[in-house]
Amino acid sequence: MASTGGGWRTKFWRQMFMWRRSCLRTSPWCILIAASEVAPATLSMMLRTTPTAKSAAEATQVLRSAWLQAISSHHQMYSGGQGVSSVLDIGCSIGDSTRELADWFPDAHVTGLDLSPYFLAVAQYMEKQRISSGLGRRRPISWVHANGECTGLPSSSFDVVSLAFVIHECPQHAIRGLLKEALRLLKPGGTVSLTDNSPKSKVLQNLPPAIFTLMKSTEPWMDEYFTFDLEGEMEKIGFMNVNSIMTNPRHRTVTGTAP
């Protein structure tokens, strides 16, 4: 780790520890430790992805901006001029990706959906903290507790459906279920976006065997994910204009259009 980044990184981890302790003390929703630790775990991933970043904010910006730009570029190219007024973030966890989508599409109604009530409780808590600090929104985020494969939401109701770092956590049959539900939920011309680890990443391919084994010990479906033909399955399910780009050395963003 570069010495120039040591100071802010040490401060960052101290701040995250204080946030976790504060959250556990002030909110009964955050009793589940795994939910309260998603934020530091996510930022840890960002720091590994952008080792030259001089701050946590810069690391976040580098990782998120390429993914969000990929969504916008695809939608502008293939939606037929359709705007973005409604966005669904499936598998939103504690809402990091949801808040990024809401910032990127400030005029859209953004919904974060997750199967874990604990993650959603942390998401709502963090959004309330943001609002109380004076960072309001034009349109408040909605939060939905549901299964991403069967959301119960109306068909053809979203311009964009996003799954950020979700499908590597899933067996192949669940990925297919998520894709089918995303297609049902999108308006004609709407955009689906899946950003996740890239099987073609040289960084991941060149991980030491011990590190890769350790990673798989907490990611039981990693082998199924890496052997899954995501682009091909999206086309079989009915998506058009399927594109895949590397948005950083570790991750890809795959986009498609609903017919």
For the stretch 26-60, pLDDT in tens is: 444 444 556 656 665 555 555 565 566 566 666 56
Residue 25 has pLDDT above 50, yes or no: no
Quickly state the pLDDT bin for 211 (edges 50, 70, 90): confident
Q: Using CA atoms of 78, 225, 179, 108 in order, give the dihedral in degrees to the nearest 10.
A: -60
Kindly state which CATH superfamily the domain 66-257 is placed in.
Answer: Vaccinia Virus protein VP39 (3.40.50.150)
Phi, then psi, of 166 in degrees rounded to 5: -110, -50
Cβ atoms of 215 and 203 within 8 Å: the answer is no
What is each CA distance from 182 to 150, 177, 193, 194, in whole angstroms? 10, 9, 10, 11
Tell me what the pLDDT averaged over the chain comes to.
84
For 92, the 3-state DSSP assignment is coil
Interaxial angle between packed helices 38-49 and 96-104, expressed in degrees from 0 to 180 and rounded to the nearest 10: 70
Q: What percent of the chain has pLDDT over 90?
A: 60
For the stretch 190-199, pLDDT in tens is: 999 999 999 9
Q: What is the pLDDT of residue 241?
A: 98
Domain boundaries, the chain: 66-257
For the stretch 90-142, pLDDT in tens is: 999 999 999 999 999 999 999 999 999 988 988 999 999 999 999 889 899 99
Q: 48, exposed or middle or buried, with CB in 10 Å at 0-12, 13-18, 19+? A: exposed
Would the pTM count as exceeding 0.85?
Answer: no
Phi, then psi, of 87 in degrees rounded to 5: -130, 135
